[in-house]
Every structure is written in C-alpha cells, then in structure tokens.
Structure 1
Amino acid sequence: MQVSQQIVGQFRRKRLLIASTVAALVIILALAFRFFEEKSRIEQLSHTFASEAIQRFDRMFSPLDVSANNTLGLVGLRCTDVRFPLVEKLATLQTVRVLLLVENDSIYCSSIFGDRTLSFSELYPELAVNNQRMLLTTDNYLLKGSPVLMLWTPKSLDNQSGIVQVINIEMMSNYLLEPALPWVERAIFNVGGKSLEYGTPLIQPAIPSEDEVSYEEASMRYPFSITLFGPSPARLALMALPSQLPLALLLSLLMGYIVWLATANRMSIAWEISYGLSSQEFIVYCQPLINAQTGGCDGIELLLRWHNPRQGWVPPDVFIPMAERQNLIAPLTRFVITEAVSHLPSLPDNPAFHIALNVAASHFHDRAILDDLQHLWWPANPRPQLIVELTERDALPVVDQRVVAHLQKTGVKVAIDDFGTGHSSLSYLKTLSPDVLKIDKIFTASIGTDAINATVTDMVISLAQRLNISVVAEGVETAEQAAYLRERGVDTLQGYYFARPMPLADFPAWLSAHQSDQMT
C-alpha cells in the first residue's frame, strides 16, 4: 500500500508540476503579450502624434500659400502704393508678422517698415540662391532674437522676385507641438538643418538625452519635418506591466486549474495502464510449478510484469489492485492470454502440463472470461491444461459462481489463489468445488518460525486432502520449507527455491536445463 501511495503521489506531483509550469508559462506569455502590445501602442501613439502635428502645420501653411499667390501681383509696384494693401492682408493672416516684397534681388517694401533697400541674396542666401522655400532663422528687426519662419513664394523663375512671409513660428510651435506625455517628452520643428524645440525660444540643434529615443517624420507638401524625443517604448511598456499583473495572474491560475483537471485522467494510473498496454510495456512472466514428489516441472503460472519507462518497474501488488479499481484488469488478462497463445508452440505439448492464469473476480461478470477464452484460447487448440486461478480480493457473487461451474464443464480447472486471505472462506469450497487450493506464501514463510500459522497451514493441507483437492504451496524459498510440505503431502511447490519468475520466452531454455539436472 505504501508503494501504491508513492506512485499515486508521483502522478499527483507530476500533475502539479505540469499545471504549475503551464500557469507560469501563461503568466509569462500574458505579460510578454501585454508588454509587446503596450510597446506597439506607444510607438503607434508617437507616429500618430507626429503625423497629426505635420497635418496641423500643413493646414496652417496652406492658406498662406494661397494668400501669397494672390499677392504676387503687388510685386513690382511702388511700396507707397501697396503698403496699405499689405497691412490689410497682414491683418487677415494672424500667424504672419511681416510681409516683404522682393524685386530684382532687392527687398524693397515691408508691411511694417515701408520702403527698404536690402539685398535679398545677401540676407537670405538659402532662399535666393539655394532655392529653399522655407528658412528657420532669428528675427533681427521687429522682435530681435525671437525665432521666425520665412516662407518664400517666388514670382520669377530666376528666384529674384517674390513675396516673403515672416511667420511667428514660436507661437505656432507652442500651439501645435505640445508634447503628449509620457511617450512624447520633446517635440522639435526642423527646417533646412535648423531646429526649434517646443518651449524653447532658441534655434539650436536638438540632441536626445541618453535615455531618450527619437522618431522623425517629414511633411510631403512642405520642406519641414517633426522630430520627437521620449522614453523608450520598451521602458514605458515595462513600467506599465505591474498594472497588468493581477489579470495575468488570474489567467494563469485559471489555465493551471484547467490543466490540473485535464490531466486528471491522462496523468492517472488508469491512463498509464492503458498507455502501457498499447505501448507494449507489459511483459508476461512465468514461474514453474514443481511436482513435490518427482521434482519435475508440471506447469507454469503466468505472471504479469510492467516496466514503465516513466516510473521503472511497477510491482504487481501495486498495479493489479489499481487496475481492478479502474476496471482495467480484464484487458490485462486478455493480454496475458494472447501472449500465452503466441508462446504455445514453444511450451510442452502435453495435457499433463498446466498453465495457470490469474483471473480477478470482476472478470467473471457477464460471462466475460468465457467469452475471452472462446475468442482467444480455444481457437488455438491448446494441449496443455488451463487452470484459472481465482484471486480473492473481491467476493464472487452467486451469478458468477455459475460461470466457474461452466468453466469446469469445459475442462478448465479452477484454483482458489491465496487461500486463507482476502474474501476466502470455507463456503467457497462448497459453492465453487475448486480443483486446486493455493496456500498463500505468508503461511509458507511461517514454517519453522511461526507455530500458529504453521498449524493453519497443516489444517488447510489436511482439509484439501480430505476434499480431494490438489494443493499448491506458494513462496517456497528454502529446502526446509520444501521438505516440510512434501512430508505433509502437498502436490505442487512454487517459489524462489526452485526458480524465480522469468519471461515466458525464457521458459523453454530453463525447462531444458531443469530436465537435464534431474537426469544427472
């Protein structure tokens, strides 16, 4: 029972290990999924912020383009004639500080200062010479030192005439580039290699700090771009993980519990036995039955052994009771019968040779053992005598006792195995009329050491002889025990003293060697 409990405990520990492993994997995968999902979401938010910022600037510049094109007709006219129209135009453009008219590479008119005479190409070579449409620079005339954006709209192909709109970019950037914390900490407006950062009234290179990452997106319509600086999306996603832990933990516990329930059958001894049968992990052994008087081998008892690659050798007193409780003993018995039939050609072809087969009481229900013998044993036309050994872990109902009687009518001998233990009683001797009584090994072991059990052994032997029932003594391990049992007329001896259980395939070689030893 202790070994049985150990194996059941091993199955439970395996189930717990698998359920715990699955739960751990689920919580890791759930957190990993949430991490990558949050990281992707933050990256997408940054892209969306930059795209929307560019769209806002594009929408701001678009009406300025239209206004400049409509005003190009004023270029070339005298400043005194066009200054008031320029002021009126300026009033409608809230984002523009100054309008400048350029003709023949000369800035000759300002909406604020009136007549001017300034070299356009010397002051703003980027616009006049390099043909840029935008210039980010510093205001040197109106609000000295403040950043401005100059939007150049040429009138002639030689780039010598046109209109310059000086835009209050600091105000616009503060309005259109407000960072979206925490994924965007700094937003920068870039034109021609120069940068203006939100909240900073200086035009200077924007450099990310050590723990910041950058993302840049350019406008498709105008020569500017937006650069964003902020914490790494991975770091922000990692910081958000603790808030996801309760849900991930709940999910992992749920999955672990589902796996625990799902493995209840698969990780059970019943599943192991069924799998062992299909995977040919069971091996049929046999132990010789020795004639107590002649010393010859009168037969064998078929025994089932289980080598489980996952557990090692599982003792019969562990898996047999478990198989009975799980209603799997009948398939195991069928396997033994099938293996015995396959080895019949190598066994003695003699009716005096006995083949003993252990059959649980449950196998007698609904005539199952009769059906199995009809389909598996009799079609092989066996010559050896079949003995069905009834194990006594369960009491045999009256209806199944009739099955025993039917077996005896077909020529099958019936033995009561382990007589004196389990549910055995003297009433079995009357109701079953067995052909053989097998004395349990605990009584054999008491010979010479335990007077009470030895007395019980003598009584069982005497009772069987009075009823003309053959007696087989199990568990004979010493010459003293063998001599004692011979003296009392026991018919057959079985135990390690004569031979240990061996694979059925090895029995012919053992029998040959045993017969040779008898003749010498």
Structure 2
Amino acid sequence: MQTAQRIIKGYRRRRFIVCAAMAVLVLFLTLSVRYIAERNLNEQRVQGFNERAIITIENILAPLDEVSADVTRLVGMPCEAALLRMREHVARMQTLRSITLIKDGVLYCSSIFGSRNVPVSQLQPRLPDSSPLLLLSTDSSLLKGSPILVSWHPLADGSQNGVMEIVNIEMLTGLMSEPERPWVSRAVLNVAGSHLEYGKGLLAQVSVNKGLVSHEMASEKFPFSIISIGPSAGDLALKNLPTQFPLALILSMLIGYITWLATANRMSFSWEINLGLASREFEVFCQPLLNARNQQCVGVELLLRWNNPRQGWISPEVFIPLAEQQNLIAPLTRFVLDEAVRHLDMFPKSRDFHIGVNVAASHFHNGEIIGDLKRYWFPSNAIQPLMLELTERDALPDVDHRVVRALHRLGVSLAIDDFGTGQSSLAYLETLSPDVLKIDKSFTAAIGTDAVNSTVTDIIIALAQRLGIDLVAEGVETPEQAEYLRNHGVDILQGYLFARPMPLKEFPRWLEGRSPPPPHHNGHAVPVIPLH
C-alpha cells in the first residue's frame, strides 16, 4: 500500500515534471518559431535583393527596345545621315555606351567612331544573328577589355542587317548588384552562359564557396538572370538565435508558472479522489460485529477501500486523513451511504442488526449530514438502524450539538470511534450523548501485555458502564482478548478473530455459514445490542 508521504511526493514530482516539460516545450517552440521566422525573413531579403536587381536591369533595358525600333530605320542610310540621330539617343541614355549599324554583316557606322568598315563577327563572333540577342562580352574598340552588354536587334527581313547597342555594364552592375551583407555577399549577372560579378568582371563560371548557397532568379522580360550568393538563411537565423534566448526563457518560465498554478487542483490528491469517485474506483467493505456472549452477528461497520489503477491499493489510513484535509470526506461518506442503500438486501432485515458508517465532525457543520441522510438513507425506508461513527481525529467539541439532537430524534445512533486515542474529553461525552463507545484496537491489543494500557481499558469500560453507554471493542484478534472483554462487560466485539473486512457481496455467504438465527422470545427476536 502507498504511504501519504509517497503519494504526495509522487504528485509533486509529476506536477514538477509537467511544469518543467511545459517550460522546456515553450522554450523550444519559441526558439523554433523565432528561428523559422528569422529564416523566412532572410529568404525574403535575398529574394527581395534579386527582385530589385532584376527590376533595375529591366528598367534600363526596356528603353533599348524603343531606341532600336527608331534606329533600325536608319540601317542602310549613309553614316553621315544617321550619325546625329544615333548620338542623340546615346546622349539621352547614360547607360548606353554606343550604337552601331550593321549592313550585310559589316559594321559600317558607329555613334562613337563614325564611319567604319569592320565585319561584326570580328567584334562579336555570335553576330550577326537572325534573332534578337543579349550578350555579355568585352570591349575591343574603346575601353579594351572592359565588360559590356551587347543588345542585338536584327531587321525583320531575314538579312544580316541590324542594330547593335553597347551598354555600360560596369555602371549597370554598380546600380543593381552591390551585395547586401550579411544576406548577400556576392551578386552575379548571367546572360547567355556568361557571368559578370560585381567587382570581379567577367567570369567563365560561378563557384560557390563551402558554407555558402546560391539563389538564382530569372527575368520574365529579358534573357538574363541574377545569382545571389551568401550564407544560408538557416545559418544566419541560427547565428542570430542566441539574441532571442532571453525572451524565450522569460516566456517559458511564465508558462511553467502558469502550468504550476493550473495543475494545483488537477494534479493533486483531491483531483485523484474526485476522479476515483467519478470512476467508481472505491469499494465498500464491511466488517461484522458479534455479540460477545452468543457469537451472533449484530451489525456491520462499512469501510471504504480504494484500488487506484494509477497508484494501486491505497490504505484508508492514507486517503481518509488526506480527504479530510482537502474537504472531500463528505463526498466519500455520501458514496458509502449510496452503496449501503444499494446493497440493503444483503443485510438481515431486522431492527436488531445495525449498519455503521464512519463520518467526520466536519460533516456535521450546518446540518450537512442531516441533508445527506434525507437524500440517501431515509428514502430507502431501511429497517436496519443506522449508526454514525465519529472519529476522534476531528475536534469533537466543535460538532454542532443541535445536529446531534436532531439525529437522535430521527432514530440515528451515534458512536465515538477509536475512543481514548484522539482529542478525548470527558465533558463532551455528556454534551454529545453518544450511544456507543468503540474501544480503540491499541487498547485491545494491550490486554495481557501492557499493564498501563490494560488499566486504561478497564477505566474506559467502567466509565461507559457508569454513564450507561454501550461498548464495542475493536481489533479483537485472540481468544484471550475476547474472554477478557466479555468478562468485563463488553457486549460487542469486532476484529480479525471473527472476520476480516470483506466486500459487501461476500457478507451474505459469510453470515449464512456463521451461525443459526438468534433465539426468539414470545415470537419476537431478542435484541442483542441495545441502541438508544
């Protein structure tokens, strides 16, 4: 069986574990949420950088289509006639370095050099082409070796005629692709398989160092893409996570404290008792009381047992005091009364057979016990008398004497249980007017062994006889104890010598095999225990 200290310690341990688990869970969830939020924000920043770079380049390249639409009409005209118009366009667009006219694959007019006669394939091997092209290349005429962006616009007649526009790509990369640290450490413009990185010029290929990741985004309007290279969003978020720890720790401690308060009732012995009552885990046992002279069963004391599926068997010496501390003794008493009424058929239908129920003094406050008896006991019209057994664990002088008198008027007997071990006072024997004193088993066990307690037992017996109060001896375990009590005038005995507590359903079988019915006198049963 469990001890009170072990049960309470177990509840506190489980409660602490739950609160600690909640705190750790909240800490983990808070840091996880912050990590995910920070990671997503970093990804959005990288994506935003790529989008801004693409929009910048698209805004620069968009006017080139308008310029080419105007300049293509000049193809075939003498260079002197077209030159002024071409230079006006270059002057108006800061990013445009030059415009050239190509006829039959020959560059014959440049906005910078004027008339020329150079096959365009010598300058750009991929030109002329029948389709519009966007190329990354190096300048071989003005600023030799510098990167340029070539925009090729062929005429629609399928010939080798067209317009080639040279964009100042270094200025362009300065406008759109300066890295945004720490999210973007490198930015690369990709056009037709060629790569231009900010600050490094043209690259044959793009390499990504260990620990870094790349994100590529393509333009929907022009044939180019942007690659941004930098630490992964997760690594950046993880690196920034320690700054979120203080707030997460405070939040987790707050949730842990709230959980501690919230579980005060649910993870406590009071909650366990309420759950046990709701689940009908309690079971009522009975222990017979026998006449010391003829060994006839004259009543039973109803005892509560608890086979807790979570804790195992819990002794009444454990859960009864705890229930009293938690103000739950009254619900347990109601349960016993309800079970007694439900099993009345198992007891002899005789007024010479009483049913004893243990009650606490706190149940007497404001007449609560009378209300419960009127609700559970009296509607059953039980023939058997009811005896309420008050334990001396409670402050018996605090019992409302008006309630005691009302009980007597209702025909309910009153017994003081475990007499001599608790808050004994000779004064309240008169004020409570008990019908029965139950001698505690510790005094019964001392018979023949302990001179002091044996003397106290004799004093209790003499006191009860002097006051006209009936006696019941508890804990009778040997024939010598039974003989001693019988010789000293104790009429009713209870203990393992006669019967151990048993489930209610076993009582009829025990009673049937115990002894014949009590003798009759003039057709009426002879009372074997006087009840006032």
Is TM > 0.5 for Structure 1 vs Structure 2?
Answer: yes
Letter in 1 for 2:195: S
Aligned to 1:3: 3
Q: Deviations over 1:490-510 (max 9, x none)?
A: 111112222222222222222
Letter in 2 for 1:326: Q
Aligned to 2:343: 343
Shift of 1:30: 0.4
1:514 counterpart SS class = coil
Q: Deviations over 1:34-65 (max 9, x none)?
A: 11111111111111111111111111112333
Shift of 1:405: 2.2
Matched, 1:149 2:149: yes
1:510 counterpart SS class = helix
Residues 391-410 of structure 1 mapped to structure 2, 5 A cutoff: 391-396=391-396, 400-410=400-410
Residues 30-429 of structure 1 mapped to structure 2, 5 A cutoff: 30-120=30-120, 124=124, 126-129=126-129, 131-158=131-158, 160-396=160-396, 400-429=400-429
Change (3 A) 1:329 1:234: same
**Once structures 1 and 2 are overlaid, which stretch shifts more, 273-282 or 479-488?**
479-488
**Once structures 1 and 2 are overlaid, which stretch shifts more, 49-58 or 419-428?**
419-428
**Once structures 1 and 2 are overlaid, which stretch shifts more, 80-89 or 99-108?**
80-89
**Once structures 1 and 2 are overlaid, which stretch shifts more, 77-86 or 225-234?**
77-86
Aligned to 2:475: 475
Residues 428-439 of structure 1 mapped to structure 2, 5 A cutoff: 428-439=428-439
1:515 counterpart SS class = coil
**Once structures 1 and 2 are overlaid, which stretch shifts more, 320-329 or 234-243?**
320-329
Shift of 1:228: 1.4
**What value does the CA root-mean-square deviation take over the aligned residues?**
2.2
Shift of 1:390: 1.5
Provide the rounded CA distance (Å) in 2 between the counterparts of 1:157 and 1:298.
126
Provide the rounded CA distance (Å) in 2 between the counterparts of 1:17 and 1:478.
49
Contact residue 150 and residue 165 of structure 2 kept, 8 A: yes
Q: Deviations over 1:2-34 (max 9, x none)?
A: 933332222222221111110000000001101
Shift of 1:441: 1.4
Provide the rounded CA distance (Å) in 2 between the counterparts of 1:71 and 1:178.
32
Provide the rounded CA distance (Å) in 2 between the counterparts of 1:355 and 1:365.
23
1:453 counterpart SS class = helix
Provide the rounded CA distance (Å) in 1 between the counterparts of 2:368 and 2:130.
102
Letter in 2 for 1:265: N
Matched, 1:29 2:29: yes
Change (3 A) 1:369 1:173: same
Provide the rounded CA distance (Å) in 1 between the counterparts of 2:452 and 2:398.
33
- List runs of 5+ in structure 2 lacking aligned partners: 519-532
Aligned to 2:19: 19
Letter in 1 for 2:76: G
TM-score, normalization by structure 1 = 0.94
2:201 counterpart SS class = coil
1:221 counterpart SS class = coil
- List runs of 5+ in structure 1 lacking aligned partners: none
Provide the rounded CA distance (Å) in 2 between the counterparts of 1:138 and 1:341.
105
Shift of 1:127: 4.8
Letter in 1 for 2:145: G
Q: Deviations over 1:377-423 (max 9, x none)?
A: 12212122211111222334577222222222322221111111222
Letter in 1 for 2:98: V
Q: How many residues align?
A: 516
Percent identity of paired positions between Structure 1 and Structure 2 = 54
Shift of 1:79: 2.0
Provide the rounded CA distance (Å) in 2 between the counterparts of 1:35 and 1:306.
50
Shift of 1:477: 2.4
Aligned to 2:450: 450
Shift of 1:348: 1.5
